């Protein structure tokens, strides 16, 4: 009796709200339902995507405003993946042990505070011109104006303000990375604990909201340029968004550890020791093969995205990351790069979740879908990454950036950014090196170019129009590949959450982030170490343009890693070819009736790992089966899963 009493007390405590004020605790408990929790989580995912896209989308402004170096900006990007890989396992474990929602809410609040602190360098910085004029910045790219990014610190006040900005940017990025771990590990596993049958829908919903948030962040960053604002962290958009984020974090901390109406008996069981739990997960072959395959594909796509600017410049001789965020590009590129990518990815997330929830496909079919997705990504990259686009940059020396005779009187920087223009059938490194002195904003052309013979008007981009067409095809392929990966991601997460113990779900997701952080970092170090050997045009202090050989190496490594992921997935599909994911003899109504049965309390704690460790596990719990059929991988019984394979 005492044991049952303690269990009831623990359950009641888990169902109580975390608010310390008794009056609020009793009133908030009525709001502790799945709909409210999902709404708050979805809002957090949306804002999480918005603030990171806004932060990077406005980087040209705050980099120049605080004199942030390009190397430091790249370090911030490294931190987002490396730090996640370093802390993911321990944070996932601690969240499972001490309360997932408490960790989510607390970290979200800290993230909101760090976002608020970013306004300090702008508020207490030296007073001056608070607007940024895109026309003036373009003029600085022209002849006799030099480069806009060669700025010197004027006084000690600027210097102190920059130090504060550096520190706050680091704090923000670290807290953002930690919050990413908590949302990925704790939010998804929490929803899967409480809404097992419908969890794929909500996983898709969370990632959908994150993608739509990134789209909203892109548009918000554009707004700063359109309004000619120099201060990006004191705007109404930024302050409003982080205020909502802080409120959501506070609400999240008041939710109970378990939802009384839908919580499974095992959802909040404390995990075993850290190393014991990790070793148990690593012994699960199904988990490891699924995890390794999706991490390899994720690594290839992420690293390709990181080096995409270098790839686009070297392969297609185009400039992708302009300070105007490409909203002066052609309509087709606008639609592909800026308006369609995130919505298509978001749609792939939610559609996959709906299909898994309502069609209940077998494990073999899900793995086969992953295999087809990875094959499609491999074929798509193979068809576009090796297309040729030959362009000769007009310089006096083939491997160094020098001024031609016609532009010798221009104050062009020897470390200027690559912004090609076409003049008289020749491609110049930038408008300054073509001797262009004015820019026509209405026609989007450069005029009064000293190097012109038959005409003095230069157009953006290279003279080889095939480069533009090939890039459009590559953009279409990349969007399709990202959508296919989104589908595979939901499938893999669903399988991972079903093949581990309930108390190990968060740790299993943390292992995904850990493995991804380390593998992606290792490959990135490799690319950074060797890319210097493929420099085509050198500046005074850095490489300004890489050769096509580097793009071939990057493409070859990408395809090799994708091929390894395909082999692993094919082996996994073969090993589970005759294994079903669900018990097809049980319909949804029978599952719901079993949920209400008190006898299912003994089966709710069973998972694949528990039965794998027991050779004498009984199959009486799962009903009668045809002995001529292969045993299913695991069966949905109440809110648990039972292993029926020796894989």
pLDDT digits (tens, 9 = 90+) for 140-172: 567 764 444 433 334 444 566 788 888 999 999
d(CA 410, CA 433): 8
Burial code of 204-238, b = ≥16 C-beta within 10 A, e = fewer? bbbbbbbbbbbbbbbbbbbbbbeeebbbbbebebb
pTM above 0.85, yes or no: no
**Ranges under pLDDT 50 in the chain:** 1-13, 15-16, 19-24, 128-137, 139, 145-157, 262-268, 322-328, 583-647
DSSP helix/strand/coil, 330: coil
CB 515 within 8 A of CB 291: yes
d(CA 65, CA 505): 44
> Is residue 644 within a helix (H) or strand (E), and if so which, with residue range?
none
CB 551 within 8 A of CB 315: yes
Domains of the chain: 15-133+148-270 (1.20.1250.20), 274-389+465-577 (1.20.1250.20), 392-463 (no CATH), 588-643 (no CATH)
d(CA 506, CA 273): 14
pLDDT of residue 169: 92
DSSP helix/strand/coil, 207: helix
Residue 315 CB burial class (10 angstroms; 0-12, 13-18, ≥19): buried
pLDDT in tens, 25-68: 555 555 667 888 999 999 999 999 999 999 988 888 888 888 88
d(CA 411, CA 142): 9
CB 111 within 8 A of CB 182: no
d(CA 339, CA 332): 10
d(CA 119, CA 235): 9
pLDDT of residue 49: 96
């Amino acid at each position: 009796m005492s044991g049952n009493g303690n269990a009831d007390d623990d359950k009641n405590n888990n169902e109580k709200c975390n608010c310390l004020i008794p009056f609020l605790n009793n009133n908030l408990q009525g709001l502790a339902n799945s709909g409210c929790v999902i709404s708050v989580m979805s809002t957090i995912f949306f804002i999480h995507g918005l603030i990171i896209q806004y932060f990077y989308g406005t980087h040209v402004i705050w980099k120049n405003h605080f004199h942030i170096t390009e190397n430091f900006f790249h370090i911030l990007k490294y931190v987002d993946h490396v730090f996640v890989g370093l802390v993911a396992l321990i944070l996932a474990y601690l969240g499972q042990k001490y309360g997932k929602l408490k960790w989510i809410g607390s970290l979200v609040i800290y993230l909101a505070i760090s976002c608020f602190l970013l306004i300090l360098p702008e508020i207490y910085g030296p007073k001056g011109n608070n607007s940024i004029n895109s026309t003036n910045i373009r003029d600085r790219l022209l002849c006799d104006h030099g480069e806009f990014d060669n700025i010197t610190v004027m006084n000690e006040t600027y210097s102190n303000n920059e130090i504060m900005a550096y520190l706050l940017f680091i704090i923000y990025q670290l807290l953002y990375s930690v919050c990413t771990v908590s949302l990925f590990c704790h939010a998804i596993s929490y929803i899967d604990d409480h809404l097992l049958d419908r969890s794929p829908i909500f996983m898709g919903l969370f990632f959908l909201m994150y993608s739509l948030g990134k789209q909203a962040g892109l548009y918000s960053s554009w707004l700063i340029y359109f309004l000619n604002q120099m201060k990006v962290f004191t705007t109404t958009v930024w302050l409003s968004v982080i205020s909502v984020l802080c409120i959501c974090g506070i609400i999240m901390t008041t939710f109970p550890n378990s939802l009384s109406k839908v919580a499974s008996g095992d959802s909040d069981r404390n995990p075993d020791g850290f190393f014991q739990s990790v070793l148990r997960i690593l012994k699960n072959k199904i988990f490891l093969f699924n995890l390794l395959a999706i991490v390899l594909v994720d690594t290839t796509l992420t690293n390709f995205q990181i080096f995409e600017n270098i790839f686009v410049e070297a392969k297609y001789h185009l400039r992708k990351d302009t300070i105007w965020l490409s909203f002066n590009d052609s309509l087709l590129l606008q639609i592909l790069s800026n308006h369609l990518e995130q919505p298509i990815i978001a749609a792939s997330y939610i559609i996959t979740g709906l299909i898994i929830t309502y069609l209940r496909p077998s494990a073999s079919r899900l793995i086969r879908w992953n295999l087809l997705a990875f094959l499609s990504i491999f074929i798509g990259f193979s068809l576009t990454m090796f297309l040729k686009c030959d362009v000769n940059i007009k310089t006096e020396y083939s491997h160094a950036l020098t001024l031609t005779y016609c532009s010798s009187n221009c104050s062009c920087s020897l470390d200027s950014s690559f912004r090609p223009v076409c003049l008289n059938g020749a491609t110049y490194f930038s408008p300054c090196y073509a001797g262009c002195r004015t820019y026509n904003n209405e026609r989007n052309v450069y005029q009064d170019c000293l190097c012109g013979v038959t005409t003095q008007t230069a157009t953006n981009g290279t003279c080889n129009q095939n480069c533009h067409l090939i890039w459009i095809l590559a953009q279409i392929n990349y969007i399709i590949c990202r959508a296919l990966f989104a589908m595979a991601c939901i499938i893999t997460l669903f399988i991972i959450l079903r093949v581990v113990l309930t108390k190990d779900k968060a740790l299993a997701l943390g292992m995904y982030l850990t493995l991804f952080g380390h593998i992606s970092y290792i490959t990135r170090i490799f690319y950074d170490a060797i890319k210097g050997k493929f420099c085509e045009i050198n500046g005074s202090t850095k490489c300004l343009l890489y050769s096509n050989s580097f793009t071939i190496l990057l493409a070859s490594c990408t395809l090799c890693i994708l091929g390894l992921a395909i082999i692993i997935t094919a082996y996994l599909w073969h090993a589970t070819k005759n294994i079903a994911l669900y018990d097809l003899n049980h319909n949804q109504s029978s599952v719901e009736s079993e949920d209400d049965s008190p006898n299912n309390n003994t089966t709710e704690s069973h998972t694949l790992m528990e039965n794998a460790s027991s050779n004498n596990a009984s199959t009486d719990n799962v009903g009668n089966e045809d002995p001529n059929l292969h045993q299913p991988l695991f069966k949905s019984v109440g809110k648990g899963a039972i292993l029926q394979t020796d894989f």
